[in-house]
């Protein structure tokens, strides 16, 4: 049932502590998921400096899910959207041809408190890569909940167990945030060809092997079976159908390097509006500060690529 076990790594950007589990050193996607990152948990002190915020920055060629488990972040984007992402809520941005947004710790800066959340980058199929951007704020009561004895799952993307999430990716995909009691068995969704389970906390057992916090287990396509929570655990189950190889550089994902190069030039030339009320932004990193990475379905090794001449 187990195909590969991935190890977490520090995130490539952002100021709050966390780690990325997709992609890892293997350069692997899971279905259309090009990145899954845990942010926190972290205790945010009152008066934390503004450099802890995510200042305005761009995205292209993906859908971005942000889910707050604890705490609150203020979202602004260049489409004019402004909302507070509170615990139990999600933001879904279909970035398409481009969106610029910021995530500010305004409430936590005033009051202090704890933050815990996750972010997922979902690569778009080629026909949707240049589509108009939009942003969707999903209230907690609009997130379907799967409840069985000893298991509770929040369906954040797609369809599962006869339920449909408010957020639908542009290609087949699903993501469930599970909390499990010790001894609880869980059967991963079987209808998608690529699936993975990320252990946020606690321990789970697959076929006699025990896995712990930060690890990601990808499953053999078509395999059936279950995993067991050997302790109280939180896990993220996700997957879908591959959309093909994608390039990732900084906050950009695209099927062609030329699309990333063009997005770089726009940001470098200040040719993108900022969200209303924002006056600062995240500068474009230097090419030698970020790898251009080729992410592939079922990839067995990462491919590092030199920046193109146009970059």
Please state the domain extents for the chain: 2-240
265 vs 287, higher pLDDT: 265
* Spatial strand order in the sheet of 194-201: 2-6, 216-219, 194-201, 233-240, 173-180, 151-157, 145-148
Alpha-carbon distance of 102 to 274, in angstroms, equals 9
CA 268 to chain centroid: 25
DSSP 134: E
Q: What is the pLDDT of residues 106-133, one digit of tens each?
A: 999 999 999 999 999 999 999 999 999 9
pLDDT band at 30 (very low <50, low <70, confident <90, very high): very high
2-240: CATH topology is Jelly Rolls (2.60.120)
pLDDT tier for residue 309 given thresholds of 50, 70 and 90: very low
Residue 107 in contact with residue 127, Cβ under 8 Å? Answer: no
DSSP-derived 3-state class of residue 260: helix
pTM: 0.91
Contact predicate 292/247, CB 8 Å: yes
In this structure, are residues 76 and 99 in contact, taking their beta carbons and an 8 Å threshold?
no
């Amino acid at each position: 049932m187990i195909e590969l076990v991935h190890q977490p790594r520090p995130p490539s950007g952002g100021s709050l502590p966390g780690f990325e589990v997709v992609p890892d050193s293997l350069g692997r996607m899971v279905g259309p998921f090009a990145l899954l990152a845990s942010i926190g948990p972290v205790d945010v002190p009152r008066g934390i400096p503004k450099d802890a915020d995510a200042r305005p920055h761009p995205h292209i060629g993906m859908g971005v899910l942000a889910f707050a488990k604890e705490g609150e972040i203020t979202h602004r984007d260049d489409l004019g959207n402004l909302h507070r992402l509170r615990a139990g809520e999600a933001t879904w941005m279909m970035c398409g041809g481009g969106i610029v947004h910021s995530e500010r710790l305004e409430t936590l800066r005033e009051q202090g408190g704890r933050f815990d959340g996750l972010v997922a980058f979902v690569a778009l199929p080629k026909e949707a890569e240049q589509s108009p951007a939009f942003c969707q704020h999903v209230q907690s009561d609009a997130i379907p909940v799967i409840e069985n004895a000893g298991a509770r799952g929040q369906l954040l993307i797609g369809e599962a167990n006869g339920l449909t999430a408010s957020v639908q990716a542009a290609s087949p995909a699903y993501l469930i945030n599970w909390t499990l009691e010790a001894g609880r068995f869980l059967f991963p969704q079987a209808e998608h060809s690529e699936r993975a389970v990320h252990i946020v906390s606690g321990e789970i057992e697959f076929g006699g092997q025990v896995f712990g916090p930060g690890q990601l287990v990808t499953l053999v396509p078509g395999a059936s079976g279950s995993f067991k929570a050997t302790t109280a655990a939180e896990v993220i189950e996700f997957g879908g159908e591959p959309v093909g190889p994608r390039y990732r550089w900084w906050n950009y994902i695209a099927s062609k390097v030329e699309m990333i190069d063009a997005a770089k030039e726009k940001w470098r030339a200040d040719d993108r509006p900022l969200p209303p009320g924002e006056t600062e932004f995240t500068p474009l990193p230097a090419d030698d500060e970020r790898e251009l990475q080729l992410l592939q379905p079922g990839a067995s090794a990462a491919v590092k690529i030199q920046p193109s001449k146009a970059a």
